[in-house]
Amino acid sequence: MPADYHTHTPLCMHAEGIPEQYIDAAIAAGLTEYGIADHAPVGEGFFDDWRMLDSQLPEYFEWVERAKSHASDKLSVRVGMECDWLAGCESWITELRNRHQWDYLIGSVHYINDKWDFDNPKWVGSRWAEADIDQVWETYWQTYIEMADSGLFDILGHSDLIKKFGHKPAGDLCRFYEPAIDAIATSGAIIELNTAGWHKPCAEQYPHSEFLELARDGGIDLVISSDAHHPDEVARDFEKAKKVAKAAGYIETTLIKQGVRSYEAL
């Protein structure tokens, strides 16, 4: 079974479970490797209520070491972080990368214009109802391209998260996908097939199969991720994801250790 590199810990304030439960789930699923990549702090200040604080990084490393100890020789455990792309974050991400020998960093866009956390359910009946969907998508994808262009991340997370609540512009969405694919291919970053989308209102994986096909044609590497926030979600829907990846033309997924890649056949 492919590696699952996008999983969380309770330090992000919206996940549950202990390291041993996550590792047991990963072993039971037959994962090749297990990666921990919780929501990274964004500096000294309190930014929102779904990420760890900078002062909690030592606790995070303790959590990781506890997971590695429990895994022992039964499973390789990798360590990363999921970092938000925000205006002016480049120096902070660089500093964060120098804090530890990370296996990888995931870059994600959860905010539009650094203010609207568009994937937060609290906005479903208000801000989304008032939004110009075409403009929202344009802003989101431009932000995603800027993140890819930065070259700061090994993996880019849930590429079309903007569709989470089912809001999509009319017409051919390749007008959004193609410029993003070009930027990702130029950056050399890996993308993920994130299975969490099947359990959200959009009811499809992130990203859409058409995006995956374009990514494969562009030579972009792939990982399959659960985005687990509970032990029961580790490697969730990976068999289904493998079929989707194969249908898009992928024949292998990526393994990563301290930034160095290898590949595993699907």
Q: What is the CATH number of the domain that holds 149?
A: 3.20.20.140
pLDDT digits (tens, 9 = 90+) for 57-71: 999 999 999 999 999
Q: Is residue 141 part of a domain?
A: yes
CA distance readout (Å), 221 to 57, 155, 212: 29, 9, 10
Residue predicted with more confidence, 209 or 129: 209
- Residue in the structure block whose two tokens are 């070491």: 65
- Position 159 scores a pLDDT of 98
Residue 111, φ and ψ in degrees, nearest 5: -125, 140
Check residue 125 and give its pLDDT.
Answer: 81
Q: Is 162 within the bounds of a domain?
A: yes
Please indicate, yes or no, if residue 4 is contained in any of the structural domains. no
The predicted pLDDT at position 115 comes to 86
**pLDDT-based confidence at 48, cuts 50/70/90?**
confident
- The answer as to whether 146 is a domain residue is yes
Please give the mean pLDDT across all residues of the chain.
96
72-108, pLDDT tens digit by residue? 999 999 999 999 999 899 999 999 999 999 999 999 9
Task: Examine the pLDDT at 203 and tell me if it is beyond 80.
Answer: yes
Domain membership flag for residue 77? yes
Do residues 114 and 124 lie in contact, with contact meaning Cβ atoms separated by under 8 Å?
no
**Cα→Cα distances 31→3, 99, 173, 178, 264, Å:** 5, 28, 33, 32, 12
The percent of residues above 90 in pLDDT, for the chain, comes to 91
pLDDT digits (tens, 9 = 90+) for 106-160: 999 999 988 899 999 998 888 888 899 999 999 999 999 999 999 999 999 999 9
* DSSP-assigned beta bridge partners for residue 256: 261
Confirm whether 208 is domain-assigned: yes
Residues of the chain by 3-state class (helix, strand, coil), percent to 5: 40, 20, 40
Cβ-proximal residues to 243 (8 Å cutoff; 6+ apart), any chain:
none
> Which helix (H) or strand (E) covers residue 217, if one does?
helix 209-217
The answer to whether residue 182 sits within a structural domain is yes
Specify if 2 maps to a domain.
no
Q: Is the omega angle on the peptide bond into residue 207 within 30 degrees of 0, that is, cis?
A: yes
Is the sign of the CA dihedral 195, 9, 128, 175 positive or negative?
A: negative
Amino acid sitting at position 220: I
- pLDDT(44) > 90: no
- Look at 45 and 39; give whichever has higher pLDDT: 39
Please count the structural domains in the chain. Answer: 1
The residue segments making up the domain with residue 117 are 10-265
Closest CA to 4 of 145, 104, 100, 101: 104
